[in-house]
């Protein structure tokens, strides 16, 4: 019943990849990773499925609904095997949640010093509504014993397999899975449609407020455990380090796996280096802001003089959810007045979340060898005509 | 039964203030606000009661245990009147939690431009164990109707009164009061002893991970409500604003009341401007780091060249609680090697929390007219001999 094997055993494991929208610019093709143009991304509070950034670690498995089974096992639970129909029998729960890659905006951090990782722009983040069963309902249906103090993590395995037939894997802390404010769901709908294959058909975990890598797609197995997933991506990737740590000195056991992500923002329109036509001495500027852990964006500040002076952006748009369940992103827009005769502008944006967390000013002091957590102020230069 | 009146009605409302430890340096005397020396503060993971910083907004009420009553009322609850003995009948719950003033480290932000507020150093934070009844248990004993969707906040009133007999007040969101991971307690013990008068005798709310101002002392009343507290301190104080907002343009209704606070750190020993004697070419450096919202400190970085290069501090000490219930602070220490002939050093510290939140580098871009949320890198200069 391990349906991923059908692709991994083929001569070309990437022969059965889904088609992608032409607007998705590939950061890599096998596995496929792609992001939409920034200006298109921020046209929609809810990203259309076909424009949602794609981050795959392995070939996309060709899962058939009638063969699909989700296995549940581990500490303090009975073993369950659930079909898609079984999962749909649990109460339907819908949330709006952004998913962000741990490496979003890596291409800016790289300018300080090289890092290892896909060269993502600022569009390795998108926002959707997700409908599915609450993970907490499924775990309680499996008889989860909440008095079992050994159980500390919930591990997920995908049906996507590496060349040695090991699945993609990740884990989250148990509290996130069971507490009401965690709101983790086993999603089978994305924006009201069955999940597209690139986004985990038929079932993906949505761990709202948590780095994309834990939102396991093509979900095959849930394991309640005393330990985190032993997968490469949990243990030896998606972790932050101090700027002086390099590949000779790094000890991945020393840093925690990234879960909730810090506050971030980006200017999406105009784009860096663009020439913009003034209208009535003004330009329109648009972008997004996001914070992990269910924190809401409470303020976005913009500077049009490279960060020397700031003012608050007037218009923020988001779904209605409030802290600590504000899983979605916030779109912002403003008009910048341009003094006559100005030939170029240095625009900078920074956001503040509902914990009053702020962004770091520059990448130098948050540089890390994997190029993750790349959340410094976003700076662009534009020309005017 | 409003026992605070006995002091407010006297000619000198400050005639009945408690004695304070001589080490507490006053930021103001009436009301009393004082902080201990930084070097003394970080000698103890759990701050001794007499050294715990004191932040009073009004005269300290002279509350007698046999006259004390806590009133509970509001949306979706039955009215309760609880004596101290009644409160002690609820299951005892003990947590370790730091309490930090919203204005901690204000004296550094002031160097950018003046602000309104007490001139706190970096010691308007301390760490204690607190024992009391869970607020959620008390609300459930009052029959809290969790299906009442109008109830959104829990307001607190102190028995400390302003000159017009209005009490100190604050509120927190209802989720923080009722969810298991909120861990709000009505504390009657501090480090195993009855609360000292300066810290809220006989009962204080401990809202762990949340700015000190919501941790209401001399607790007289709890009100479940559809709205936040209308107190000055909730509505027109303890809020953050963009750096361009001044007292002519500020609209306090536009920013959310500070609740959970961002990640912060400080170098406590040696002190800024001190002359330090080298031992074997090294100096010892100690400090604290803290993050609100139950986030744990996962890394502290130190620079001895003014921020040009960084390395991770080796030794972190904290209580055992983990994210998202890591309410205590973290003490850190390290040795800095000093090249021969060095006459002075610029030390800088920054911390990272379990959401990988980082501190802003400087105060310029987080400056705000009230001087709150003053959490930029902590920088000191020392001389060597
Ligand atoms: Mo990712
Ligand atoms: Mo405060």
Distance CA A210, CA A216 (A): 11
Over the stretch B5-45, which tens digit does the pLDDT of each residue have? 444 455 799 999 999 999 999 999 999 999 999 999 999 99
**For position B11, what pLDDT does the model report?**
79
A37 touches chain B (CB under 8 A): no
Picking from B210, B324, B355, B363 by the largest number of A CB atoms within 10 A of its own CB, the best residue to mutate is B355
What is the number of CB-based contacts under 8 A between chain A and chain B? Answer: 113
Residues in A touching B310 (Cβ below 8 Å): 242-244, 365
Q: Compute the nearest-CA separation of B365 from chain A (Å).
A: 8
Please name which ligand lies nearest the alpha carbon of A124.
1
Residue of B nearest to A311 (CA): B244
CB B327 within 8 A of CB B293: no
In this complex, the residue of B293, B312, B361 whose CB is nearest that of residue A360 is B361
Please name which ligand lies nearest the alpha carbon of B170.
2
**For position A10, what pLDDT does the model report?**
54
Residue of B nearest to A372 (CA): B356
Interface touch A358/B356, C-beta < 8 Å: no
Residues in B touching A289 (Cβ below 8 Å): none
Which residues have beta carbons under 5 A from ligand 2 (an ion)? Answer: B 55, 101-102, 212-213
Residues in B touching A180 (Cβ below 8 Å): 179
Question: Average pLDDT over chain B, rounded to whole?
Answer: 96
**For position B146, what pLDDT does the model report?**
86
Interface touch A365/B361, C-beta < 8 Å: yes
**DSSP bridge partners of A125:** A100
Interface touch B356/A240, C-beta < 8 Å: yes
Over the stretch B59-68, which tens digit does the pLDDT of each residue have? 999 999 999 9
Distance CA A118, CA A103 (A): 8
Task: Annotate chain A with three-state secondary structure.
Answer: CCCCHHHHCCCCCCCCCCCCCCCCEEEECCCCEEECCHHHHCCCCCCCHHHCCEECCCCCCCCCHHHCCEEEEECCCCCEEECHHHHHHCCEEEEEEEEECCCCCHHHHCCCCCCCCCCCCCCCEEEEEEEEEEHHHHHHHCCCCCCCCCCCEEEEEEEEECCCCCEEEEEEEHHHHHCCCCCCEEEEEECCEECCHHHCCCCEEECCCECHHHCCCCEEEEEEECCCCCCHHHHCCCECCCCCCCCCCCCHHHCCECCECCCEEEEEECCCCCEECCECCEEEEEEEEECCCCCCEEEEEEECECCCCCEECCEEECCCCCCCCCCCCEEEEEEEECCCCCCEEEEEEEEEECCCCECCCCCHHHCCCCCCCCCCCEEEEEEEC
Interface touch A244/B180, C-beta < 8 Å: no
**For position A6, what pLDDT does the model report?**
47
Residues in A touching B258 (Cβ below 8 Å): 356
Q: Compute the nearest-CA separation of A98 from chain B (Å).
A: 16
Considering only residues 149 to 208 of chain B, which have any Cβ-Cβ distance to chain A shorter than 8 Å?
A: 173, 175, 179-181
pLDDT at B256 over 50: yes
Q: Ligand 2 centroid to A299 CA: how many Å? A: 22
Per-residue pLDDT of chain A (385 residues; tens, 9 = 90+): 333 444 445 579 999 999 999 999 999 999 999 999 999 999 999 999 999 999 999 999 999 999 999 999 999 999 999 999 999 999 999 999 999 999 999 999 999 999 999 999 999 999 999 999 999 999 999 999 988 899 999 999 999 999 999 999 999 999 999 999 999 999 999 999 999 999 999 999 999 999 999 999 999 999 999 999 999 999 999 999 999 999 999 999 999 999 999 999 999 999 999 999 999 999 999 999 999 999 999 999 999 999 999 999 999 999 999 999 999 999 999 999 999 999 999 999 999 999 999 999 999 999 999 999 999 999 999 999 8
Residues in A touching B371 (Cβ below 8 Å): none
B292 touches chain A (CB under 8 A): yes
Q: Compute the nearest-CA separation of B347 from chain A (Å).
A: 15
Interface touch A242/B373, C-beta < 8 Å: no
Please name which ligand lies nearest the alpha carbon of A373.
1
Residues in B touching A323 (Cβ below 8 Å): 173
Q: Ligand 1 centroid to A53 CA: how many Å? A: 11
Question: What Cα–Cα distance (Å) separates residue A91 from each residue in A321, B179, B185, B229?
Answer: 20, 21, 33, 36
Mean pLDDT of B258-276: 98
- The reported pTM is 0.95
Considering only residues 233 to 262 of chain B, which have any Cβ-Cβ distance to chain A shorter than 8 Å?
A: 240, 242-245, 255-256, 258-262
**For position A1, what pLDDT does the model report?**
35
Distance CA B376, CA B363 (A): 6
Residue of A nearest to B176 (CA): A324
**For position B6, what pLDDT does the model report?**
47
Q: Give the pLDDT band (50/70/90) at residue B164.
A: very high
Residues in A touching B354 (Cβ below 8 Å): 256, 259-260
Interface touch A360/B362, C-beta < 8 Å: no
Residues in A touching B361 (Cβ below 8 Å): 360-362, 365
Q: Ligand 1 centroid to A33 CA: how many Å? A: 10
**For position B10, what pLDDT does the model report?**
54
Picking from A251, A357, A376 by the largest number of B CB atoms within 10 A of its own CB, the best residue to mutate is A357
pLDDT at B3 over 90: no
Interface touch A361/B366, C-beta < 8 Å: no
Q: Ligand 1 centroid to A54 CA: how many Å? A: 9
Q: Compute the nearest-CA separation of B267 from chain A (Å).
A: 18
Residue of B nearest to A367 (CA): B310
Residue of A nearest to B312 (CA): A242
* Phi and psi torsions of B154, nearest 5°: -120, 120
Please name which ligand lies nearest the alpha carbon of A101.
1
Q: Compute the nearest-CA separation of A61 from chain B (Å).
A: 32
Q: Compute the nearest-CA separation of B10 from chain A (Å).
A: 40
**For position A146, what pLDDT does the model report?**
86
* Phi and psi torsions of B157, nearest 5°: -120, 135
């Amino acid at each position: 019943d391990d349906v991923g094997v059908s692709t991994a055993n083929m001569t070309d494991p990437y022969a059965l990849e889904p088609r992608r929208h032409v607007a998705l610019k590939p950061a890599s093709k096998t596995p496929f990773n792609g992001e939409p143009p920034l200006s298109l991304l921020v046209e929609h509070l809810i990203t259309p499925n076909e424009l949602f950034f794609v981050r795959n670690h392995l070939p996309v498995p060709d899962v058939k609904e009638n063969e699909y089974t989700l296995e549940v096992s581990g500490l303090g639970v009975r073993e369950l095997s659930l079909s898609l129909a079984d999962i749909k029998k649990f109460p339907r729960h819908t949330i709006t949640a952004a998913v962000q890659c741990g490496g979003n905006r890596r291409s800016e951090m790289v300018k300080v010093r090289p890092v290892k990782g896909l060269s993502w722009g600022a569009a390795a983040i998108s926002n959707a509504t997700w409908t599915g069963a609450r993970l907490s309902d499924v775990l309680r249906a499996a008889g989860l014993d909440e008095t079992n103090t050994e159980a500390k993590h919930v591990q997920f395995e995908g049906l996507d397999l590496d060349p040695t037939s090991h699945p993609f894997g990740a884990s989250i802390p148990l509290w996130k899975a069971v507490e009401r404010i965690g709101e983790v769901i086993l999603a089978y709908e994305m924006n009201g449609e069955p999940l597209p294959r690139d986004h985990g058909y038929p079932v993906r975990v949505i761990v709202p407020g948590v780095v994309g890598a834990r939102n396991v797609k093509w979900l095959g197995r849930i394991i309640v455990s005393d330990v985190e997933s032993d997968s490469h991506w949990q243990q030896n990737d998606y972790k932050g380090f101090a700027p002086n740590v390099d590949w000779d000195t790094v000890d991945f056991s020393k840093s925690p796996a990234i879960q909730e992500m810090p506050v971030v923002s980006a200017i999406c329109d105009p784009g860096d280096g663009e020439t913009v036509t003034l209208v009535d001495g003004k330009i329109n500027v648009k972008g997004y802001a996001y914070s992990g852990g269910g924190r809401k964006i409470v303020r976005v500040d913009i500077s049009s003089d490279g960060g020397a002076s700031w003012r608050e952006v007037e218009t923020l748009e988001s779904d209605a959810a409030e802290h600590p369940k504000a899983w979605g992103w916030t779109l912002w827009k403003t008009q910048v007045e341009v003094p006559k005769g100005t030939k170029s502008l240095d625009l900078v944006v920074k956001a503040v979340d509902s914990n009053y967390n702020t962004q770091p000013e520059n990448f130098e002091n948050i540089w890390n060898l994997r190029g993750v957590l790349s959340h410094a102020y976003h700076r662009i230069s534009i020309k005017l005509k």
